[in-house]
Structure 1
């Protein structure tokens, strides 16, 4: 199974993706990690454009064809990137769940953005203004939305697990 987690920075994507991967015994594939490794290699500098995503698609496909569940986590701001993730799942013949993580409380979201630190060496985190100014296309199809505002990470995980369970029982190949 492929579970694609997207959303603006500081909404809780990484925390949720890690918890879900641990719960499911899945591979957590993080585009920030891929992109920063490319930058550290000295072969490229930010902005990388689609490079990190293209590497992520290839890695996800390999893991899925190897029988592993993949949690692919990135901002995923454009419809073209969301479509590409779905294509990865289709080509690997696995169901794909699309998840958008939001933080509906702007005060809480801003606090997260201004108080967080990174675990990826040399990764520059966007400031609040960069987050709110970021190009982020609305999702144009049904998908799972997890609002992390006012919830613990475990609460958000439980909401996501229920949504994934409900989608699976509906017998769909793609969760919406």
Structure 2
């Protein structure tokens, strides 16, 4: 992969974004910027309630750009459901003068995806997790440009990491 890079990881809840982002950050020594963490901090501050709206993403873009300008590779992880959010991550990389790589995680096995959504534990205190119907009904625009698509349906986290590393190096 080489050099400072913004790696944007998006996808519906339950596709493995946080798990993979943490593994990748540890492997390559990158900063992991997680919008869920930012949004929950905003809620805990008393300034907002869920859904927070664009504030969590705006803070994420600013943090990512700051870290990139300091010479640190950043893994920005969020659902990233809209073209406008995808463009904003990419714009942060452009302003910092570094390349951006975009990754969309999918889980093409609906039974496995549903199981993940309904059985996962909250790792951020008081963060409300969506139920399966909320995941299915979520507004999620198709990606309109080339990006890495990684199907996590039939592989474990370590296999997904190995696949992602190969794809990022290609």
**TM-score where L is the length of structure 1:** 0.93
Pick the aligned partner of 2:138 from 129, 134, 141.
Answer: 134
Q: Is the counterpart of residue 110 in structure 1 residue 114 in structure 2?
A: yes
1:38 matched to 2:42: yes
Aligned equivalents of 2:114, 2:56: Cα separation in 1: 26
Report deviation, 1:147.
0.4
SS in 1 for 2:7: strand
Whole-angstrom distance in 2 between the partners of 1:95 and 1:57 = 15
> In structure 2, what is the Cα distance between the partners aligned to 1:109 and 1:12?
10
List structure 1 segments (4+ residues) > 3 angstroms apart after TM superposition. Answer: none
* Residue of structure 1 in register with 2:156 after alignment: 152
Q: Can you give the 5+ residue segments of structure 1 that lack an aligned partner in the other structure?
A: 167-176
Corresponding residue for residue 18 of structure 1: 22
Q: Deviations over 1:52-107 (max 9, x none)?
A: 00000000010000000000000000000000000001110111000000000000
Matched with 2:7 is 3
Gaps of 5+ in 2: none
- What TM-score do you get using the length of structure 2 for normalisation? 0.97
Q: CA deviation at 1:44?
A: 1.0
**How many aligned residue pairs are there?**
166
Q: CA deviation at 1:38?
A: 0.3
Are 1:71 and 2:75 counterparts? Answer: yes
